[in-house]
Amino acid sequence: MIETPYLLFLGDAPDQLAAKVAIGIKDWRPENAVGQFRMEGCKADLGLKDMSLTEAREAGAKTLVIGVANRGGVISQEWKKVLVTALEEGFDLASGLHNLLRDEADLAAVAEATGRKLHDVRVPDVDYPIANGIKRKGKRCLAVGTDCSVGKMYTAMAMEAEMRNRGMKATFRATGQTGILITGDGVPLDAVVADFMAGSVEWLTPDNDEDHWDLIEGQGSLFHVSYSGVTMALVHGGQPDALILSHEPTREHMRGLPGYQLPTLEALRDTALHLARVANPDCQVVGVSVNTQNMSEDDAKTYLAAIEADMGLPATDPFRFGSGKLVDALAAL
Amino acid sequence: MIETPYLLFLGDAPDQLAAKVAIGIKDWRPENAVGQFRMEGCKADLGLKDMSLTEAREAGAKTLVIGVANRGGVISQEWKKVLVTALEEGFDLASGLHNLLRDEADLAAVAEATGRKLHDVRVPDVDYPIANGIKRKGKRCLAVGTDCSVGKMYTAMAMEAEMRNRGMKATFRATGQTGILITGDGVPLDAVVADFMAGSVEWLTPDNDEDHWDLIEGQGSLFHVSYSGVTMALVHGGQPDALILSHEPTREHMRGLPGYQLPTLEALRDTALHLARVANPDCQVVGVSVNTQNMSEDDAKTYLAAIEADMGLPATDPFRFGSGKLVDALAAL
């Protein structure tokens, strides 16, 4: 659990895209973002107040979150100067970088001396149990994709926001680095040891109120041969009551696998539902979430209408048209 | 890679069952078993020659394999005395125990000083790649189960032996601790980090001669919610050309999951084949392997005949009736 709120470290980001994690925090948990810290040459700007470390501490920030990718996988000396000072000023540090904060001898030593925490969210810090398959109270929704990176996290985040607006009980459950940094908690599922994957998902989505929904962040795809085992652990460990199908219609092949075509939404529906019912016989497919960023608005609307007609399921692009239809479907279950 | 042949350490095994790993080595790789080492009070006996460490070294043994479970997860002082002496005498040590040899300070120090290796086969010692899904040369067969522990390893081992007897090119590919100790090599799949599971299976079953068969050791079950992600990685990383369905008909519920019924063989056939064809569109289900140890011989024969009639697939218990039918089916592909 990462202490909030955050000061968002943008470093010397070469462009806005490099600050993806910080943007996610600002979009989805604005109350966690006290301000931004930018170094000379930083080309990203979240529109938050620029703060010094001292100012951010006075404003209540507890953790400096590295909200930007580093160049060449190296934590530079310029960054180090800020990070070490932040520890000395009383901040914890949190990072989803491939190279770990804890592996930097200077950061580790200063954190030790100051009693501050280094959160490397790429690696698990919990001994997860083996999944026991016992039915848990409360409701769970999982987005499953025809492919990786088709908008599963965005869909779950958008649904959580809409549900909270409606006064429904809903919690986004992060299973990847970005989601963990945004919410301050979660399971870095792709880094969990095989035997404990499903158990980590059970741990992440415990018993809850009967009318509470966990919106579980999906990973990979049952049809992506590199990562399908991770997806399977979500389908069985998550015991979803509701599945959302996620798709990106213009993709020409599976991400990173030129020889592999995307499955149809119908194939995904049948496969995912069949497998999900092993863990939860009442599971339903409730809607379709389409990432239409590469389509005109007219084409997107036509495409979504065709899915609704063909599949009899509500279909939307949560980014473009909101997630209301999907939340309606959950509420109707 | 563990150096062969072995001296099999039976320690103070309380009964024959505790020596399961050693029995597997003797049954499947007798040429690897130079002799057995038994301590006072040992109740297991493989029928191999009892040897001192010196005798075994003279007979060519390279590695002392711990072929027995330890009591209470502790490596006792009595064992330590033998293990340390073995290192001093020039043996490597290999173990599938939960508690690792390398975590014992004395063993680690003596191994370091003598230049000997400690093989803890429960933990991976390779940086596996992410799976790339590229079609590999050669043939692969995978046993998939209705449940865990239904005889998948035995089936693959028995098929390998039968194929070698017939002069076919065949290699058992171990994915669990026992299999790795038996063959001296493999991937401890349940201990691999999630993102690399399928890649580790690709690594284990590389390009080979067109008429060569890898017999991949199965793990878990697509229907076992605790471990289905591991099974999925085998189905997609292994790119099987042939699937064998494995079953134990008298089991009342999924192993360790009292609330879960076993799927039918038909459900396993359809689910596994559908998923396997994502990675290999030519995959076929070629036969059924049934563990009939809890049935009379008549009942077993009746049961197998019924499967053959209902499913149109050859069915056998490889332990009781041999694996010939399954090998015939592979040879006919």
In chain B, which residues have their Cβ closer than 8 Å to the Cβ of A194?
Answer: 189-194, 197, 229-230, 233
From CA A158, how far away is CA A320, in angstroms rounded?
A: 11
Tokens of B199: 């890649």
pLDDT score at A70: 79
Residue B73 confidence class, pLDDT cut points 50, 70, 90: confident
What burial letters (b/e) apply to B203-227, b meaning 16+ CB within 10 Å?
Answer: bbbeebeeeebbbbbbbbbbbbbbb
Largest CA distance in chain A: 63
pLDDT class for A156, splitting at 50, 70, 90? Answer: very high
Contact B194 A198 (CB under 8 A): no
Q: Which residues pair with B173 in a beta bridge?
A: B216
Residues on chain B bordering chain A, Cβ-to-Cβ distance under 8 angstroms: 130-135, 189-195, 197-199, 222-223, 225-233, 235-237, 254, 256-257, 259-260, 263, 271, 274-275, 278-279
pLDDT tens digit sequence for A104-115: 999 999 999 999
pLDDT score at A74? 83
Long-range contacts for A109-118 (Cβ within 8 Å, ≥24 apart)? A110/A84, A111/A87, A114/A87, A114/A88, A114/A90, A116/A87, A116/A90, A116/A91, A116/A92, A117/A3, A117/A92, A117/A93, A118/A92, A118/A93
List Cβ neighbours of A207 (8 Å cut-off, separation of 6 or more).
Answer: A136, A137, A138
Model pLDDT, residue B190: 95
Under 8 Å between Cβ of A136 and A205 = yes
Of A45, A49, A51, A48, which is closest to residue A16 (Cα–Cα)? Answer: A45
Token match 């400096």: residue? A64
pTM: 0.95
| Arithmetic mean of pLDDT over chain A | 96
Residues of A in contact with B198 (CB under 8 A): 225-229
Reply yes or no: is the peptide bond before residue A5 cis, omega within 30 of 0.
Answer: yes
How far apart CA B178 and CA B184 sit, in angstroms, is 10
Nearest residue of chain A to residue B233 (CA atoms):
A229
Task: Please identify which residue in the block is written with the tokens 């090119």.
Answer: B169
Contact A196, A128 (CB under 8 A): yes
Please name every residue paired with B183 in a beta bridge, in sequence order, or none if there are none: none
Q: Do A229 and B227 touch (CB under 8 A)?
A: no
A271 to chain B: which residues are within 8 Å by CB?
274-275
State both tokens at B196.
Answer: 């690399």
- Indicate yes or no: CB of B278 within 8 angstroms of CB of A191: no
pLDDT band at A288 (very low <50, low <70, confident <90, very high): very high
Q: How many angstroms separate the CA atoms of A232 and A226, rounded? A: 12
Q: Could you tell me the two tokens for A163?
A: 């549900």
Is B229 in contact with A232 (Cβ distance < 8 A)? yes
Closest CA to A136 of A63, A228, A226, A206: A206
CA distance B153 to B161: 12
3-state secondary structure at position B81: helix
Provide the pLDDT for residue A69: 82
- Reported as a single tens digit per residue, the pLDDT across A258-283 is 999 999 999 999 999 999 999 999 99
Give chain A's length: 333
* ipTM at complex level: 0.94
Are the CB atoms for A214 and A139 separated by under 8 Å? yes
Backbone φ, ψ for residue B291 (5° rounding): -90, 105
The number of residues making up chain B comes to: 333
What is the b/e burial string over A120-156, where b = at least 16 CB atoms within 10 angstroms of the residue's CB? bbbebeeebebbebeebebbbbbbbbbbbbbbbbbbb
Nearest in space to A152 (alpha carbons), one of A227, A54, A46: A227
Distance separating alpha carbons of residues A138 and A159, to the nearest angstrom: 17
> What is the gyration radius of the CA atoms in chain B, in angstroms?
20
Element (H, E) at A299: helix A297-311
Instruction: Check A197 against B274: CB less than 8 A apart.
Output: no
pLDDT for A292 equals 98
End-to-end CA distance of chain B: 32
Cβ pair B18, B69 in contact under 8 A: yes
Comparing alpha-carbon positions, the chain B residue that sits nearest to A219 is B195
| Per-residue pLDDT reduced to its tens digit, B296-306 | 999 999 999 99
Out of B222, B226, B233, the one facing A133 most closely (by C-beta) is: B226
pLDDT digits 0-9 by tens, A205-222: 999 999 999 999 999 999
| Inter-chain touch B193–A189, beta carbons under 8 Å | no
pLDDT of res. A73: 75
The beta-carbon neighbor of A230 closest among B225, B229, B235 is B229
B70 pLDDT exceeds 90? no
Residue A162, phi then psi, degrees to nearest 5: -65, -40
Please report the pLDDT score of residue B71 as a whole number: 75
d(CA A217, CA A289): 13
Collect all residues from A whose CB is shorter than 8 A from any CB in B: 130-135, 189-195, 197-199, 222-223, 225-233, 235-237, 254, 256-257, 259-260, 263, 271, 274-275, 278-279
What is the spatial distance between Cα B174 and Cα B168, in angstroms, rounded to a whole number? Answer: 19
Tokens at B214, concatenated: 């890898």
Q: Report phi then psi at B320, rounded to 5.
A: -90, -40
Give the three-class secondary structure for A187: coil
Distance between B15 CA and the closest CA of chain A, angstroms: 29
Helix (H, G, I), strand (E, B) or coil at A67: coil
What is the average pLDDT value for chain B, to the nearest integer? 96
Per-residue pLDDT of A66-96, as tens digits, reads: 999 877 778 999 999 999 999 999 999 999 9
Q: Do A194 and B189 touch (CB under 8 A)?
A: yes
What mean pLDDT is predicted for residues B211-233?
98
Most confident segment among A17-26, A234-243, B63-72: A234-243
CA angle A96, A99, A105 (to 5 degrees): 115
Contact flag A194-B195 (C-beta cutoff 8 Å): no
CA dist A32 and B315 (Å) reads 61
Residue pair A32/A48 in contact (Cβ under 8 Å)? The answer is no
